[in-house]
Amino acid sequence: MIEFNPYDKAFANDPYPVYKRLRDEAPVYQCAPLNFYAISRYADVLEAHRDFKTFSSAGGVTIEGLDAMVPLLIVKDPPEHLWNKALITKVFTPNRMGSLEPFIRNLVISLLDKAAAKQEFDFVQEFALQVPLQVISELIGIPEELREEIHRLTNKLLDREDGSGLAELAATMAASHEIYLGLVRDRRERPRNDPITYLIESEVKDDEGVVRRLTDDEMAFRFGELAAAGHETVAKAIPNGVMAFQRFPGERTKLIENPGLLPGAVEEILRFDPPSQLQGRTTTRDVTLHGVTIPAGSKTMLLTGAAMRDERKFENPDIFNISREAPIDSTYFGFGIHRCLGIHLARLELRIAFGELLKRFPNFEVDSSRATRSVLSNVRGVRTLPARLGAQA
């Protein structure tokens, strides 16, 4: 009988063989000790994302469910989710995200320049983490003098390997919330031409025609959520991608010779090793699938990591192939009402990071055998990864 424990070290190192067995032998898996069900086939994961009425986000989207205690957008169900998302999307538009392109390119170039001066450097701490941390501050409009503290706190919140207890986590969260709250209060008194002020001034009508605005507290939570969501995922996707290129050198050569493949390569990086491995839900009614009944009120994990390697959907799913046509209904950015708000920005950051890296340092090397990995239930990626950039092209 297949056993699936998301906290197991061996599983964290390589979850894909376990996922294959889950898809084949137990497409609806019950993990009794940790009290959750898991769905692993592509078609089922997609359908569960679509059916938000049956698969509610309100109980939290992680196995632990601690996120349900914070008023985040990601744990809201309709009707609140709809107007909350409409409000935030009004401010963080694809245009606003796209306008960050020169900032991101300069940032990536300067980080690579610094790393190039070293014999060996840590690809995660000195590059992959720095990109989203600085980009998200720029997007929100965090003043320079507060960025270092925000970065320190966001990092601490997300780097859960340091054994910090719940109390410390809560204190860190409270400290970063206070900073965002301070910024919102400041902009109320002194409005500026910046996203924090726009959000204060924004309002939408809900589906009953009631005008909705966010309170100061809610805005502070939204900024914290954007910072965390934007930071954790991109910082994992970049190393996942370089490790894939190291394992499949033919794909690296292909991309260097044909930079036009870059957008497809970014999609393949996200399919091949998705940073967000699972999206948690809670069933609102009994659901019977493949002969198993998931009772109402059950924690149910939609295993995107498994779905993206489903041979029922993808040909040779364990092969990293940047010329693969990316399906429009992939779930690595989620799907349906909770689809990622930062898709545009994430793609931009990844395209620029890989574009500049491969153009300037086509022979870069990373040593995955010396990487350290975080064992987190929902995101997959390394915490440190020794790297050398090699000669500049």
As beta bridge partners, residue 51 has: none
CA separation for the pair 61, 12 (Å, rounded): 19
Nearer to ligand HEM, 239 or 342 (CB): 342
Distance between CA atoms of residues 321 and 264, nearest Å = 9
Query: Smallest gap, in angstroms, from Cβ of residue 189 to ligand HEM?
Result: 26
Identify the residue among 133, 226, 294, 352 touching ligand HEM (CB under 6 A): 226
User: Are residues 354 and 262 in contact, defined by beta-carbon separation less than 8 angstroms?
Assistant: yes
**Prior bond of 195 cis (ω within 30°):** no
Of the candidate residues 4, 198, 272, 333, the single one contacting ligand HEM (CB under 6 A): 333
Nearer to ligand HEM, 12 or 104 (CB): 104
At position 122, the amino acid (one-letter code) is: D
Indicate if the alpha-carbon torsion angle 169, 170, 176, 180 is positive or negative: positive
Q: Which of 20, 85, 252, 271 binds ligand HEM (CB under 6 A)?
A: 85
CA dist 321 and 324 (Å) reads: 6
> How far is it, in rounded angstroms, from Cα 84 to Cα 90?
10
Residue of 338, 352, 355, 387 that binds ligand HEM (CB under 6 A): 338
Q: Which residues pair with 38 in a beta bridge?
A: 29, 301
Interface with ligand HEM includes 340 (CB under 6 A)?
A: yes
Q: Is 228 helix (H, G, I), strand (E, B) or coil?
A: helix
Which H helix or E strand runs over 122? strand 121-122
Q: How far is the CB of 320 from ligand HEM (least distance, A)?
A: 16
Told to check if 279 binds ligand HEM by CB under 6 A, we report: yes
Residues 298-317 that bind ligand HEM (CB under 6 A): none
Name the segment binding ligand HEM (CB under 6 A); options: 111-119, 120-128, 185-193, 273-281.
Answer: 273-281
Non-local CB neighbours of 296 within 8 Å, separated by 6+ positions: 283, 284, 285, 286
Among 12, 18, 61, 214, binds ligand HEM (CB under 6 A): 61
Please work out, in degrees rounded to the nearest 5, the angle formed at the alpha carbon of residue 346 by the alpha carbons of 171 and 367.
Answer: 80
Question: What secondary structure letter does DSSP report for 58?
Answer: T
Q: Does 292 bind ligand HEM (CB under 6 A)?
A: no
**Which of 28, 68, 74, 307 touches ligand HEM by CB under 6 A?**
74
Q: CB–CB of 263/11 below 8 Å?
A: no
From 149-157, 188-196, 255-263, 330-338, give the range in contact with ligand HEM by CB under 6 A.
330-338
Cβ closest to ligand HEM, residue 70 vs residue 293:
70
Smaller CB distance to ligand HEM: residue 28 or 235? Answer: 235
- Give the residue nearest to ligand HEM (CB): 342
Contact residues toward ligand HEM (CB under 6 A) are 57, 61, 73-74, 85, 225-226, 229-230, 233-234, 237, 270, 275-276, 279, 332-334, 338, 340-342, 345-346
